Chains A and B, each alone.
Chain A
Amino acid sequence: MKLNGSQLICESLLLEGVESVFGLPGGAILPLYQTLPEYPDLKHILVRHEQGASHAADGFARVSGKPGVAWATSGPGATNLVTGIATAQMDSVPMVLITGQVPRAAIGSDAFQETDTTGITLPVTKHNYLVMDANEIPQIIKEAFHIASTGRPGPVLIDVPKDVQTEETEFDSATFKEEYQNIKINLPGYKPTLEGNIAQIKRAVKLIEDSEKPIILAGHGIIFSDAYQELKELAEKAQIPVITTLLGISSFPQTHVLSAGWPGMHGMAYSSLAIEQSDLLIALGMRFDDRITGKPSTFARKSKKIHVDIDPSEISKNIKVDVPIVGDVKHVLKELNPLINNKTHSKWLQEIESLKIDHPSLQIRNTEKLLPQYVVKSLDEVTKGDAIIVTGVGQHQMWAAQHYTYTEPKTFVTSGGSGAMGYEVPGAMGAQVARPDKTVWSIAGDGGFQMTMAELATLVENKIPVKFAILNNNFLGMVRQWQEFFFNKDYVATQYSKNPNFVKLAEAFGMLGIKVTEKKQVKPAIQKAMDYDGPALIDFIVEEEENVYPMIPAGQSVENLIEEPKPKKALSS
């Protein structure tokens, strides 16, 4: 039987190992939808808004390591995907997106639900395609998965006109599998460098040998290249403390004796100070984001810098480095580690330890009030640090990063570079679909949660048992904090004075809803939500004007670090 465009899409996706697709139908993608019943192995999860589909595909990819797949119709369907695509692009998350497009003959005529999808998504995708011939579909899908998941990963979009989806092709269902496997990827302009330059690696080894105060700065690249063992080996062999970026959290066990927190705007003070005092920074699969460097000219002034990254354009983009190594961090570390001699840095490790004692960033005030930090700490205790944590963006995100203990890779899922509020609901959905065996907790803000909470219906409908902890302070908390610090507490448009009743909302969606207003209710509520068979939500009514500490204000240096005001009473951890 000859296959048509839609069948080619489904067959190709299955051959790429795709099991789940997040999407929402519409006119221009209907032929593809009507083909789905022929492919029961391709599980479709019907979302309530296309942003949910792209964020869910992103969450799926971050947790599974495989490209997430989402699709939508033309026009508004495609534009609704964009926030999720931009989020994936900023954090280098592999994704393949398929959008319906108006029929070929109508392109450019401002037809109903026509939009220039490839034009709109061009700056937020790693690459995109407009398919003008159904026979090209297998080649394009194969290339798309290759581009999305190799080199520096990223989202790839394929725009498929409606009549291309119905067009009969020369491919036959009986022989397609073999034909697909024989397709050669022909991308002469795309050859990611995997192996690091050996001369550069030797220069890096020399710097590491000579260093008294080295620090490893581990980023998202460690997670995507699966280089945990190599990172650990380097750290342990040369006794180098490991600081991670926000997205690098979970690339190195936080319980490890060499783990030295994460730095930057809301990172631990001792981590930022250690970077400041180091004489060598070994940056692995990270990109010197402004949230880490603050003012670039004052960042790690005393240190030499080694930068390993697969993307040459990240080298010396934000921070000038001494030894750049372009390559896959796993490959590079495999070359580098054997050249490193065993070393100790006990004096340096002690210095960091005393920085940690002098600047205790993660202490929680001893009070009867319900503090958001306490909620996160309790989650850590009740789940024994074994859950996958997904967050939105803002204060709750920082507290989730600070007060939970991450020991396993791919357990902290957050929109870092893009900072997309609303990620917490669909992102958690994708994470749970990727790992049905794990408990997924979405630590949410009351602001972001309301942006995407329509997906609760998707969770209930598909029995996806995500648990939500809303740190509800009736404010857009992080913006409020900026207003408090930098705008004389002038709280313009940040208070949500009439937040909905989240418990009733949960019940309306068919979930378990629990409201928590007191400290003593926290742990029992968490346990109850975990024991519940299905998605559940806890509305934690927390201190409204709580701030995230420490803080290095945007564009400033570590000298401007604001630490938590000293409490009057004794501390508890």
Chain B
Amino acid sequence: MIQNTLSKHTITALVQDKPGVLNRISSMFRRRGFNISSLAVGQSESENLSRMTFVVDGDDKVVEQVTKHLHKLIDVMKVVDISEENIISRELALIKVKAGADNRDQVMQIASMFRANIIDVSKEFLLVEATGDENKINSLINLLGDIGVSEVMRTGSVAMNRASNRNGKKSKQSKLLNRKWEEAASV
């Protein structure tokens, strides 16, 4: 199981949503020998721009090079290493657990402790959906492993700075959102 170590850094990048951009980025990582531990991509708040979250293995020097080389790509607009900041990091995991009538309860109990949902049930399997930071998902998979995990699908982390509204214009909605996240983060 992957353990969270001090050498893990979380970097976000705002990139042009164009064909081949992911290739440019992954090619740069490969060529320079940088290790991506996880990568998540999705549309950002702006049209034609995607936001990526990288979790990168390496010491500070490596991560400094990663951010600089990312920034060097023409299609990359903004790169931030948010590891040192007060961030929230989440990933989604789907976990297929081998569980029949005799241990279904046990799975449901573990799932509820982790605020995870059971999203599908069959005679032999339960499908658990969980969100949380990497550590939480790791522990959940660990616990379920004792019962019997047959398949795991993880999205990789997406991360955001808590003080996301740096321009000072905090809307009611974002305050609300912040509070919600803080609650969620206390799990």
Write the residues of chain A forming the contact surface with B, with a CB cutoff of 8 angstroms: 118-119, 122-123, 126-127, 130, 147, 187-190, 311-313, 315-317
Contact = CB atoms under 8 A, between A and B. Distances in A.
B68 A312 contact: yes
Contact of A187 (B27, B68, B69, B74): B74
B72 interface: yes
B71 interface: yes
A42 B74 CA distance: 29
Nearest to B77: A189
Nearest to B30: A123
A315 B28 CA distance: 18
Given A312-B68, A317-B65, A189 B74 contact: yes
Interface size class of B (residues with CB under 8 A): 20 to 34
B16 interface: yes
Contacts of A316: 61, 64
Given A189-B15, A312-B68, A317-B65, 6 more contacts: A147-B74, A189-B75, A189-B77, A311-B72, A312-B71, A313-B71
Contacts of B78: 189
Contacts of B16: 189
B110 interface: no
B23 interface: yes
B31 interface: yes
Interface in B1-57: 15-16, 19-20, 23-24, 27-28, 31
B177 to A, nearest CB: 27
Interface of B: 15-16, 19-20, 23-24, 27-28, 31, 61, 64-65, 68-69, 71-78
A355 to B, nearest CB: 33
29 contacts: A118-B20, A122-B23, A122-B24, A122-B27, A123-B27, A123-B28, A126-B74, A127-B74, A130-B19, A130-B20, A147-B74, A187-B74, A188-B77, A189-B15, A189-B16, A189-B73, A189-B74, A189-B75, A189-B76, A189-B78, A311-B72, A312-B68, A312-B71, A312-B72, A313-B65, A313-B68, A313-B69, A313-B71, A316-B61
Contacts of B19: 130
Which 10 pairs between the two chains have the least Cβ-Cβ distance? A313-B68, A189-B77, A127-B74, A190-B74, A312-B68, A123-B31, A313-B69, A189-B76, A122-B27, A313-B72
Nearest to B69: A313
A108 to B, nearest CB: 12
Nearest to B70: A313
